[in-house]
Structure 1
Amino acid sequence: MGKGKTNWLKHWDFLVWDLIFIEIAFLAACAWRHGFHIAPYLRPLYVRLNLILIVVDIVIVLLNSSYKNILKRGFLKEFQAVLVHNSLILGVLLLYIYITKQAFYFSRTVFVLTWILSIVFTYIERFCWKRVIRKRIRKGVGLPYMLVVTYENYAPSVLEKFRKRMYNNFNLAGLVIIDEDMRGQTIGKTKVVCNADEITEYLRTHVVDEVLWSAEYNDSYQKIVKTMIYMGISVHIAMDYLSDELPNKFVERVGGFTVVTTAIHSMQNWQKLLKRLSDIGAGLIGVAVTGVLFLILAPIIKKQSPGPVFYSQERVGRNGRIFKMYKFRSMCMDADQKKKDLMQHNEMQGQMFKMKNDPRIIGCEKGEGKGIGNFIRKTSLDEFPQFWNILKGDMSLVGTRPPTLDEYNQYEVRHKVRLSIKPGLTGLWQVSGRNRITNFEEVVKLDEKYIENWSLKEDMKIILKTVEVVLARKGAE
């Protein structure tokens, strides 16, 4: 899924840290003036001023581009930026209390100390946080994987442009040289991973989030680029090569190049932030509930099927990333081995497995649907440990269900669109009567529909529908 236009939320982490340390400065100033036994947040005047401080800080960041090129700033420029930013906040607050005729009720000492301490604290905070980010960028932690498509004679200049930039917000996955077969060779220190004819297959089997198309975009390559887009990969095309048929186009800077980016769906940074914050909130609540469920389910599971309470399995996440997904164990210990023998009973057409009255479920010998494993699955209690995956960032609350490795290895190119977003605990397929869907291609169509029409409102609808489905015990076996 595309990342949308770059905006002030690109550095939302600095905004959050600044707010935290400005709050600490405000508390420290109040404690210095009024004593450590006084809680300034309990005094209505200071509570109101504190809330206004937060709003003012956000507005100044929005209007003043406070974090533009923040990673490139040296010590002096950063100090100047911090001084201006915090002085503007103090100035607006002073103007507010003057206009509202409240100056008499506030301590000048608190204002002066807050200003001084906020400059010191935020300067140190920004210096430290920039070191963390720079270190992560150098190591490539959490950055998308970028594949570069270009010509042999142009590749060195592309790589040199990347090298000269202080920080590139991506990991270089490799090169594709389209005018020569150089597969396996290296240019500079970067490996040529495939040739033009093998691009699609390489994307199907490897982790690639974005493609920089730094080559001519003619009729012979349009089909390849369209395939990339509908696999869920964001494609950045050099400005000289632009087609009106490409969906969701927007102009941005990537690795020093001005490009037109196109993707099956574009998500703005503020939408990404809200989705991640909602995942973190849900993850914290879900992990707490999982702890309570563990106390209840663990003795029952262990008694009926000796072994671990939790079941972990390698699943395939966004754009082919492998992660361990967790569940409460509802099946016997050798379920994965038995699955091979049961494939002839698979009720799904395609790259998924589903079987009614699965003999691998704990307690199935008591009769159809009477085992503890059936109860855990019917009530979807087995899914709760995945809130830990959500909290870690492997999964999202709403998305597409992650395939197993053997399912993923059977994927065709058109199926990889399911992996263009983070996998979810629930999704459109789950609330669309999944027991009635026996064709994997229908699952893919539902997932593609969700991705193309994604919105926070749609996520909320799916969450509410999921609650309804779980309470009615529909769709899970």
Structure 2
Amino acid sequence: MENSSRRQSNLLFVQLAVVILVGMVIVELPYTDMTRSDLIILGLIHFFAYYSSRMEENFWNRDAIRELEKVVIYNVIFSLSLSFIAFMLEENFIISRWEVIYFLVLNTMGIYLINLVLKGLHQSTAANRLLVLTVSERLDQVLTNLQTLGLKPENIAGIVLMDKEPKQVGDLHWVQVEDAIHFAKTEAIDKVFINVPSSQTDLDLAYWISEFEVMGIEVNVHVNLYDLDTFGSKKIRHFGNFHIISFSSNFYSISHVILKRIVDIIGSLVGLVLFGIAYLILAPIIKKDGGPVIFAQDRVGRNGRVFKFYKFRSMSQDAEARKSELLEQNQMQGGMFKMDNDPRITKIGHFIRKTSLDELPQFYNVLKGDMSLVGTRPPTVDEFEAYTPSQKRRLSFKPGITGLWQVSGRSDITNFDEVVKLDLAYIDNWTIWSDVKIILLTIKVILFREGAK
């Protein structure tokens, strides 16, 4: 069960790490009076200053100016407490006025920056598009509450009125009740919010929750606590001024999600250096047929978002046009095109595919946030349009350059359902350590040239 105390403790200990780091810097300054054992006192003062300044209050909704104000208040309390402790302990804890000033400046900068980074990572992992299911009498209340959460009209993918025809007003997209499931399957939807009276007995709530859950979409319900039999997990949370029940097949640790993005950024920067080196060598060879070096294509990412996907071009320039001629030779049963000895692959294309060099431009997709280092492979738009709702659940996770099925003998898999099964096994059991393991296995696969064709 997620609550504010858990989110508060995560922020508390992240900031504690900053305080200790700043303290270690002060200790290493020349002619300092502080010692490493004094870091314990700094940690204890941090707890006092954190709670006294109410650092966690409205944390995710504070803008940069209000964040700076809060951090300054926290550090003023911290430095005053630090000076008081030094006065009370006398010889047992010595810190000069200059050290207090150094600490105040460095800690203000450190806490402020880490807070902004946390918010940026949080926003990048939770840039939600919402589908709202409600009734006409509650519509205004729902829209007002969504505004208090900072959601803009573009964050609301659609609104379904369960009791009457949709209002055709404003810039919002209105969806018919009978089209709601299809809309969720074909559009980029991250979360569903259901706000209906508990007295509305004609609404089969379990049906709606299950239909969205099977697509990997988190469902949030503002009703009295129903004992609903669904295959996912439930959490009680706050959603603006509403108390909601969240239904999802997966709830991930926010610290692991943030770590995943940090690993993605570091990994993509390293990967882009390798891409630059490879580009200098491969570009003249790939351009021999007069075509572009980089192949760009629309692919479908997390929850149905379409993004531009990049690879070193390994096929002839007319590869997309010729695909329809080769569909009968597709060796993959449903959902994906795969063909051994594809005649569209160029001579250099065979080499860069075998060595996985064609994937290097995707590190740019990872840096942008469209993809991750590890995830599920993004389908083409036409493949996605043929997905069933249960197959869409493989896109409830950000797509990756590599993934579980790529390191599980990808050349031997000829049934797309097996790919989906491996993807869902990865999604259902994901932790940051899953990614570390798959990255190590991917390096092994590349070095020994296993699986790629």
TM-score, length-normalised on structure 2?
0.82
CA 1:157 to 1:93, structure 2 compared with 1: closer, same or farther past 3 Å?
same
Aligned equivalents of 1:294, 1:449: Cα separation in 2: 35
Correspondence for 1:368: none
Q: Distance in 2 between matches of 1:294 and 1:74?
A: 39
- Percent identity (aligned): 36
Determine the C-alpha separation between the residues in 2 that align with 1:68 and 1:108. Answer: 31
Is the counterpart of residue 353 in structure 1 residue 343 in structure 2?
Answer: no
Question: CA offset at residue 395 of structure 1?
Answer: 0.5
Long gaps (5+) in structure 1: 31-38, 364-371
Aligned runs of 1:97-108 on 2, under 5 Å? 107-108=96-97
SS at 2:308 equivalent: strand
* Equivalence map 1:284-299=2 (5 Å): 284-299=269-284
Q: Distance in 2 between matches of 1:361 and 1:265?
A: 39
Match status 1:440 vs 2:416: yes
Shift in CA distance, 354/5, structure 1 to aligned 2, threshold 3 Å: farther
Read off the aligned partner of 1:446 and give its amino acid letter: L
* Residues 43-64 of structure 1: CA deviation (Å, up to 9, x unaligned): 8977959987996797668766
In the superposition, relative to structure 1, how do residues 155 and 306 fare at CA in structure 2: closer, same or farther (>3 Å)? same
- Aligned pairs for 1:389-400 within 5 A: 389-400=365-376
1:175-194 equivalence runs, <5 A: 175-182=159-166, 185-186=167-168, 190-194=172-176
- Note the C-alpha offset of 1:254: 1.4
Give the distance between the partners of 1:235 and 1:422, measured in 2 at CA: 18
- How far is the alpha carbon of 1:268 from its aligned partner? 2.1
**Any conservation in 2 of the 1:232–1:420 contact (CA below 8 Å)?**
yes
Structure 2 contact 375–400 (Cα < 8 Å) conserved:
yes
State how far apart, in whole Å, the 1-side matches of 2:423 and 2:69 are.
Answer: 48
Query: Paired residue for 2:191?
Result: 210
Q: What is the alpha-carbon distance in structure 2 between the residues aligned to residue 53 and residue 357 of structure 1? A: 67
What is the deviation of 1:194? 2.2
Partner of 2:299: 315
Q: What is the rounded CA distance, in whole Å, between the counterparts of 1:462 and 1:77 in structure 2?
A: 38
Q: Which has the higher contact order (CA 8 A, sep 6+)?
A: 1
* Superposed displacement of residue 321, structure 1: 0.7
In the comparison of the two structures, how many residue pairs are matched? 440
> 2:150 aligned with 1:167, yes or no?
yes
How far apart, in 1, do the equivalents of 2:110 and 2:434 lie?
Answer: 38
Equivalent positions of 1:48-447 (< 5 A) are 65-70=54-59, 71=61, 79=69, 82-88=72-78, 91=81, 95=85, 107-112=96-101, 114-115=103-104, 117=105, 143-163=127-147, 165=148, 167-168=150-151, 171-182=155-166, 185-186=167-168, 190-195=172-177, 197-215=178-196, 216=198, 220-246=204-230, 247-303=232-288, 305-363=289-347, 372-447=348-423
Q: How far is the alpha carbon of 1:204 from its aligned partner?
A: 0.8
For 1:367, the equivalent position in structure 2 comes to: none
Match of 1:459 among 411, 435, 447: 435
How far apart are 1:200 and its partner, in Å?
1.0
How far did 1:145 drift?
Answer: 0.8
Q: Which runs of 5+ in 2 are unaligned?
A: none
Q: Is 1:5–1:269's contact at 8 Å kept on the other side of the alignment?
A: no
TM-score w.r.t. structure 1 length? 0.79
**Alpha-carbon shift at residue 407 of structure 1 (Å):** 0.7
Residues 220 and 88 (structure 1), Cα distance of their counterparts in 2 relative to 1, 3 Å cut = same
Give the CA deviation at 1:190. Answer: 3.5
Against the structure 1 CA distance between its residues 283 and 151, is the aligned structure 2 distance closer, same or farther, given a 3 Å change threshold?
same
The farther-off stretch of 413-422 and 210-219 is: 210-219
Give the conservation status (yes or no) of the 8 Å contact 2:158–2:174: yes
